[in-house]
């Protein structure tokens, strides 16, 4: 690490992340890179536990907020304080591979200003079925065996973007879920190129119970309506409404298809075993969309 010549800023939003963030920071300390980087942890925890952990890492700058924020706002605070040209957003439960920062910077220097990395499930910490359902449902586009490609949207759990580009487009909206989908679709509408590289690898921990996973999926379906469909004409909205079951069917087939294509044989077996729960997830996602169409109550105000 060369803090005197920072070119990459890693931003980690944190709320009561003390159980996981130390492992994430250990991985950052172990980075093998020729590029200078800084680590900003933006924390709004109820206690000082995260602060105490961060104090053990001299390379970490803690930005402490007294009021709880949504993750998008935390990332925006970090972006404003960043000194690097490239912002690398990482969740507190993501462990980066030793060469992740180096790989991100090299991909950036090839002309990629907004891109995602390979986000794999931290199977060593996965307990039960729910971590697989959550990860397989939300991260079916980021396998490390998938070749470099263009993307329609990116996950903020492991996302890199040119700082000036991020600030130009106003950063993340202050919404509870799908801030990354909203931002990256906004970037795509502005004809910004979004990309994926398998060279930037992270392992993510999922530990939510099944009930909470299904609730997340339901909220994502609800919020997607307001992000993607609300601005359409009434005619198009009615067409989409009629086609929603087909859209949900296509979504789950695409999720299963991508996993079967890019996973190892052992992982494919796991995908088949959890496929009934993934199908149930698609039903919850569809129900969230229908709820938005019928109630028009707006983007969900809670992350839970």
Residue 303 has a pLDDT of 64
Which among 206, 219, 230, 237 has a CA at the least distance from the CA of 281?
A: 219
HSE toward the beta carbon, residue 247, CA cutoff 13 A: 15
Q: Are residues 105 and 182 in the same domain?
A: yes
Residue 8 has a pLDDT of 97
Residue 262 has a pLDDT of 95
Domain membership of residue 115 (yes or no) is yes
Q: Are residues 176 and 263 in the same domain?
A: no
* Structural domain harbouring 133: 3-204
Q: Are residues 35 and 181 in the same domain?
A: yes
Question: Residue 51 CA to chain centroid, in angstroms?
Answer: 23
Residue 301 has a pLDDT of 72
- For every residue of 119-177, DSSP letters joined together read EEE-GGG--SSHHHHHHHHH-TT--TTSPSEE-S---TTEEEEEHHHHHHTT---S-SS
Q: Are residues 165 and 220 in the same domain?
A: no
CA distances from 196 to 55, 148, 165, 224 (A): 33, 5, 17, 22
Burial of 16 (0-12, 13-18, 19+ CB in 10 A): middle
Number of domains in the chain: 2
Residue 176 has a pLDDT of 84
- On whether the pTM is more than 0.95, the answer is no
Classify strands 86-90 and 6-14 as parallel, antiparallel or unpaired: parallel
Domain membership of residue 27 (yes or no) is yes
Domain membership of residue 149 (yes or no) is yes
Give the end of a domain, one of 189, 204, 219. Answer: 204
Residue 1 has a pLDDT of 45
We report the CATH number of the domain holding residue 132 as: 3.90.550.10
Rg, Å, the chain Cα set: 19
Question: Residue 287 CA to chain centroid, in angstroms?
Answer: 23
Q: Are residues 198 and 218 in the same domain?
A: no
Q: Are residues 214 and 195 in the same domain?
A: no
CB within 8 Å of 96: residues ≥ 6 apart: 24, 27, 28, 31, 90, 158, 200, 201, 202
CB within 8 Å of 88: residues ≥ 6 apart: 8, 9, 10, 11, 101, 104, 159, 160
Q: Are residues 151 and 61 in the same domain?
A: yes
Is the separation of the CB atoms in 38 and 6 below 8 Å?
yes
Domain membership of residue 261 (yes or no) is yes
Q: Are residues 7 and 138 in the same domain?
A: yes
Residue 111 has a pLDDT of 96
- For every residue of 30-87, DSSP letters joined together read T---SSEEEEEEEE--SSSHHHHHHTT-TTEEEEE-SS---HHHHHHHHHHH--SSEE
Q: What is the pLDDT of residues 23-58, one digit of tens each?
A: 999 999 999 898 999 999 999 999 999 999 999 999
Q: Are residues 163 and 247 in the same domain?
A: no
The token duo for 301 is 């105000």
Q: Are residues 69 and 216 in the same domain?
A: no
Q: Are residues 27 and 143 in the same domain?
A: yes
Is the separation of the CB atoms in 28 and 39 below 8 Å?
yes
Q: Report the alpha-carbon distance of residue 232 to residue 243 in Å, rounded.
A: 15
Domain membership of residue 303 (yes or no) is no
pLDDT tens for the chain, 304 residues long, are 444 577 999 999 999 999 999 999 999 999 989 899 999 999 999 999 999 999 999 999 999 999 999 999 999 999 999 999 999 999 999 999 999 999 999 999 999 999 999 999 999 999 999 999 999 999 999 999 999 999 988 999 999 999 999 999 999 998 888 999 999 999 999 999 999 999 999 999 999 999 999 999 999 999 999 998 888 888 998 999 999 999 999 999 999 999 999 999 999 999 999 999 999 999 999 999 999 999 989 988 776 6
Give the end of a domain, one of 170, 189, 204. Answer: 204
Domain membership of residue 74 (yes or no) is yes
Q: What is the pLDDT of residues 101-153, one digit of tens each?
A: 999 999 999 999 999 999 999 999 999 999 999 999 999 999 999 999 999 88
Domain membership of residue 21 (yes or no) is yes
Domain membership of residue 302 (yes or no) is no
Burial of 274 (0-12, 13-18, 19+ CB in 10 A): buried
Q: For 227, which DSSP code?
A: I
Q: Are residues 157 and 34 in the same domain?
A: yes
Give the end of a domain, one of 204, 237, 270. Answer: 204
């Amino acid at each position: 690490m060369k803090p005197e010549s920072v070119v990459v800023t890693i931003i980690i939003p944190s709320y009561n992340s003390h159980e996981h963030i130390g492992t994430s920071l250990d991985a950052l300390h172990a980075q093998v890179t020729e590029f200078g980087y800084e680590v900003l942890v933006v924390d709004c925890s109820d206690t000082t536990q995260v602060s105490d952990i961060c104090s053990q890492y001299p390379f970490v700058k803690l930005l402490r907020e007294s009021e709880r924020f949504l993750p998008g706002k935390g990332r925006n605070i970090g972006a404003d304080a960043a000194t690097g040209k490239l912002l690398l957003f990482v969740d507190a439960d993501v462990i980066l591979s030793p060469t992740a920062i180096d790989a991100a910077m090299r991909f950036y220097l090839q002309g990629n200003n907004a891109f995602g990395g390979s986000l794999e499930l931290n199977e060593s910490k996965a307990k039960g079925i729910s971590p697989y359902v959550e990860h397989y449902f939300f991260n079916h586009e980021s396998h490390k065996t998938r070749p470099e490609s263009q993307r329609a949207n990116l996950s903020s759990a492991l996302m890199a973007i040119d700082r000036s580009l991020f600030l130009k487009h106003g950063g993340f909206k202050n919404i509870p879920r799908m801030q990354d989908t909203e931002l990256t679709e906004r970037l795509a509408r502005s004809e910004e190129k979004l990309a994926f590289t398998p060279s930037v690898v992270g392992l993510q921990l999922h530990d939510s119970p099944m009930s909470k996973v299904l609730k997340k999926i339901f909220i994502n379906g609800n919020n997607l309506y307001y992000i993607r469909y609300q601005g359409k004409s009434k005619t198009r909205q009615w067409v989409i409404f009629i086609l929603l079951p087909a859209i949900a069917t296509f979504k789950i087939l695409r999720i299963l298809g991508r996993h079967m294509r890019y996973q190892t044989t052992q992982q494919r077996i796991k995908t088949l075993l959890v496929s009934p729960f993934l199908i149930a997830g698609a039903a919850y996602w569809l129900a969230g969309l229908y709820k938005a169409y019928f109630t028009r109550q707006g983007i969900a105000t809670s992350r839970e």
